[in-house]
Amino acid sequence: MTDQRFLHNQWSSRLAFVLAASGSAIGLGNIWKFPYLAGENGGGAFVAVYLLCVAAIGIPIMIAETMLGRRGRQNPINTMLSLAQEAKAGPAWHYAGWLGVLSGFLILSYYSVIAGWSMVYILKMNSGYMSHISAETAARVFDDLKSAPEIQFIWHTVFMAATMLIVSRGVSGGLERATRFMMPGLFIMLILLDGYAMSSDGFGQGMSFLFKPDFSRINGESVLVAMGQAFFSLGLGMGAIMIYGSYLPDHVSISRSTIFVASADTLVALLAGVAIFPIVFANHLEPTMGPGLIFQTLPIAFGQMPGGSLFGVLFFVLVFFAAITSAIALIEPAVAWLSENQAMSREKACLWSGLSCWLLGLGTVFSFNLWSGNTWFGKNFFELVDFLTANIMLPVGGILVALFAGWIMRRETSETELEMGSAYNYWRFTIRYVSPLAVALVTLSAVGVI
């Protein structure tokens, strides 16, 4: 190992890792994306496939990716390189690290735009004019935002600048502090919204939409989307959890920590779904309305609650925090690589990666207005970047992690790192056979190869 192993920062405790990994996992993926994907892809059946993907594919890969990170203790590219050396495999494995850096970068470019929307909604809720808002007005308010590139431009810029500021302060300064207070708050707000949903007319219909699977409503592409969402939401296949694992002290149980994080992540997504769909049905809205779903439904709920403006502000502030703790995970691999390999200062690495990511994000801003007519394979710019990353690049990254951990890394190495006792064999079988085959089958069949 190089000296970097010792220079590389470490988390102050296991709790700090769990908080940071949850911060990376829990984000717009849970609150914004999961509900609208479930709405677009048939509800219950999508949710069932999603849960299966988290358990059978996501968790084993999450354990593997964290383990690779801790073993390598460097940025994803160098980690893959030195682990390949250790296992006497070829250096080409470091391309897996590259793929991850690129995926994180692409995802952050649009993630920042959507996080900007949530910042706009903090102000809108605060202005009070959302109180007793009708479904039509809520839809119009959202459409106005979507068709205003200049407003999205401003908030995308603000969000990206805030992210890079936190990232530039390094692991224990910025990252740990940012994650500590956000999650409990978010959890409480979601429970509050769920309470409101329970009292609404649409509750029964919302619940059966979400939890009563009707498998005739999904196809190969929805299964791919569900699997991609499992990767996206857990933050897998792109080196984020690998780099967080690289900051993890030895002898902390990787399996226990990751299962905890995955469960929390799934719970938050389900709580968000439970909050949203009753509102959809009570107001005769379409579950298939897409990325605007939470922005067009939740203001209606807040508008009817006593103290709703305050809760609405709080909620979108928490969404902002959830987004920023994921954003720092998305860009961390690129920044760590630039600063560790290119001898750039951390500040400079942040500046360059932030600037280029911001520039690419303008494509997403314009895809909702000026460029909405420009499509490739039937997808606009935002949809294309999203599809490529969540449904192709993250799963491919996940397969590579699984293959490396299961077939390339020596058995003794992973057995010592994981300290899982008898569960080890189960994990090893899954990571060698089940996860890579399942991911490959789903991806290939959805893109029409098989």
Among residues 29, 39, 395, 397, which is the contact residue for ligand PHE, using CB under 6 A?
29
- Give 239 or 363: the residue with its C-beta nearer to ligand PHE: 239
Cα Rg of the chain (Å, integer): 21
CA angle 180, 186, 189 (to 5 degrees): 145
Q: Are 265 and 187 in contact, with CB atoms under 8 Å apart?
A: no
CB of 28 to ligand PHE, least distance (A): 4
Cα separation, 242 vs 338, whole angstroms: 16
The CB-nearest residue to ligand PHE is 29
Sign for the pseudo-dihedral over CA of 243, 444, 268, 136: positive
Q: Check binding of 159 to ligand PHE (CB under 6 A).
A: no
CB of 128 to ligand PHE, least distance (A): 29
- Give 105 or 404: the residue with its C-beta nearer to ligand PHE: 105
- Per CB under 6 A, the segment of 54-62, 197-205, 227-235, 278-286 that binds ligand PHE is 227-235
Name all contacts of 378-383 with Cβ < 8 Å and 24+ positions apart: 382/110, 382/113, 382/291
CA angle 146, 152, 158 (to 5 degrees): 155
Cα separation, 160 vs 113, whole angstroms: 9
Q: Check binding of 117 to ligand PHE (CB under 6 A).
A: no
Total site size for ligand PHE, rule CB under 6 A: 15
CB of 140 to ligand PHE, least distance (A): 27
Among residues 30, 112, 168, 297, which is the contact residue for ligand PHE, using CB under 6 A?
30
Among residues 117, 196, 232, 404, which is the contact residue for ligand PHE, using CB under 6 A?
232
Cα separation, 392 vs 40, whole angstroms: 19
- Give 49 or 243: the residue with its C-beta nearer to ligand PHE: 243
Q: Are 209 and 277 in contact, with CB atoms under 8 Å apart?
A: yes
Q: Check binding of 279 to ligand PHE (CB under 6 A).
A: no
> Which neighbouring-strand residues pair with 123?
none
- Per CB under 6 A, the segment of 235-243, 246-254, 273-281, 400-408 that binds ligand PHE is 235-243
Segments in 219-307 forming alpha helices (H): 220-234, 240-246, 254-282, 293-304
Q: Check binding of 74 to ligand PHE (CB under 6 A).
A: no
Tell me which residues touch ligand PHE (CB under 6 A). Answer: 24-25, 27-30, 107, 232-233, 235, 238, 240, 326, 329-330
